[in-house]
Amino acid sequence: MCRGEFIINTSDPQPTQNLDINTAAVSGITSAGIGLEQFQGLCIAMNLPTLTQQLYPKKHTEICDQWEKTAHKVMEAAAERERLAAIEEGKVKNGVAVIDVIADGCWSKRSYKSNYAALSGAAAIVGRKFREVLFLGVRNKYCCICARAQNKGIAPSEHKCFKNYTGSSSGMEAEIIAEGFRKSVEMYNIIYGRLIADGDSSTYSKIL
């Protein structure tokens, strides 16, 4: 044996436009809707080293932050496209462009007309002309860290809590869409003048 020690990088140590192997792996895990344990099972089956318990959440946070920033940039560009088109068509009220939008929501499990116990829900507002997302919101009724601490009768440790909703699951969609309407001028200098959506009257009443 030569007793030499060598450092072997799994990715190019120099900055490139390509994702490093760990970032690519966590991106794939998130996109596929699986978790670290499922990914570890795949790696074991292929006799490959896997991510550590410490590295995975670090990479996951980094990726989610970048995805969020990218989403905001894309939505801003989409809103500007809708705004300029509305101005060109003369759809302006008090100097502010007025556009038509489409909106709908979804839940982690069915929460409309049959079961109202979903712990998470999301909704989006889409520009009618170009069919691009302008606003996206998520509501969560549950935080595992807070819940575990409550069960143990102790204060939760410092963490990023995603619980941001306490009402009924069926009301998540209406609250998110109403928030998007309230913030449209502040965010994009646009008025959502007409809403195209399903027959959920609570959404319309909350906006009005």
**pLDDT tens-digit readout, 126-178:** 999 999 999 999 999 999 999 999 999 999 999 889 899 998 888 899 999 99
- The pLDDT of residue 189: 97
Question: Chain-wide mean pLDDT for the chain?
Answer: 90
**pLDDT tens digits for range 33-59:** 999 999 999 999 999 889 999 999 999
Query: Rounded to whole angstroms, how far apart are CA atoms 85 and 71?
Result: 21
How many C-beta neighbours within 10 Å does residue 120 have? 19
Task: Give residue 128's identity as a one-letter amino acid code.
Answer: R
Nearest residue to 123 via CA among 181, 61, 201, 205: 181
In order, the DSSP letters of 124-165 are EEEETTT--EEEEEEEES--HHHHHHHHHTSPPPS-------
Strand, coil or helix: what is 113? coil
- The pLDDT of residue 11: 67
- The pLDDT of residue 110: 66
- The pLDDT of residue 64: 93
- pTM beyond 0.95: no
- The pLDDT of residue 112: 56
- The pLDDT of residue 20: 86
Whether the per-residue pLDDT at 114 is higher than 70: the answer is no
pLDDT class for 200, splitting at 50, 70, 90?
low
Work out the average pLDDT over 4-21: 76
